[in-house]
Amino acid sequence: MRVLEHPDVEEIHLEAVLHALADPMRLEIVRFLATTEDGAACSEIELAVTKSTGTHHYRVLREAGVINQVYRGTAKINSLRSTDLDTLFPGLLASVISAATRRSQR
Amino acid sequence: MRVLEHPDVEEIHLEAVLHALADPMRLEIVRFLATTEDGAACSEIELAVTKSTGTHHYRVLREAGVINQVYRGTAKINSLRSTDLDTLFPGLLASVISAATRRSQR
């Protein structure tokens, strides 16, 4: 079973997290994952981009420490690293998700 | 008197703000400005970069809507657009500043 590389908690940097979140597609992914209990497969999240562009966005989020990705069969299941991020940067993820959500509702 | 261009509140975008904050020098500037009452001249904020690189970072922050820049004589005085940002993205700036500050104290 392939295992994808993730940064340890102490390897997660504020700048990398902010950079990962500074993109409309990646904000969409994060916002969707925040609504799920156990994460979601990439195929469940509709993005208006090609598959390879989508894969790139998930990788940026994973390498920054924003999401976990695990294989279930051939599908990658994505989930937010909410606990890690809340420990490192209290309130940050929640404020970004809520700002992105408010905008999408305007 | 020269006036520098700033985005109106409704022109401030979450992605641009996150991108502007996703840099160690710019986080330094924001963190410093958060400690001031009336803002600070660029010369008051020590950055380990050349003057032109510093100017670039201030411009990115201004164009994203994170700071105000006004001329006082020949000096640019910088201040955080805390009220605008708090209205648009409640809690975001505070959580970023507090995360950056905690790190700098480690």
Q: DSSP labels for B43-77?
A: GGS--SS-HHHHHHHHHHHHHHTSEEEEEETTEEE
pTM value?
0.94
* CA dist., res. A66 & res. A79, Å (int): 9
Are the beta carbons of A33 and A78 closer than 8 angstroms? yes
pLDDT tens per residue across span A3-60: 899 999 999 999 999 999 999 999 999 999 999 988 999 888 888 888 889 899 999 9
Whether residue A103 is predicted with pLDDT greater than 90 in this model: the reply is no
Contacts of B98 in chain A (CB under 8 A): 90-91
The alpha carbon of residue B44 is apart from the nearest alpha carbon of chain A, in Å, by 24
Residue A48 has what DSSP assignment?
S
Are the beta carbons of A69 and A4 closer than 8 angstroms? yes
Q: Which residue of B has its CA nearest to A19?
A: B22
Contacts of A92 in chain B (CB under 8 A): 92, 95-96, 99
Helix axes B24-34, B14-21, angle to 10 degrees: 100
Listed in sequence order, the residues at least 6 apart from B12 whose beta carbon sits closer than 8 Å to its beta carbon are: B64, B65, B81, B84, B85, B88
- Decide if A94 touches B, using CB distance below 8 A: yes
Output the pLDDT for position B57.
Answer: 96
Residues of chain B with pLDDT under 70: 1, 106
What ipTM was assigned to the predicted interfaces of this complex?
A: 0.93
Q: Which domains does chain B have, with CATH numbers?
A: 9-104 (1.10.10.10)
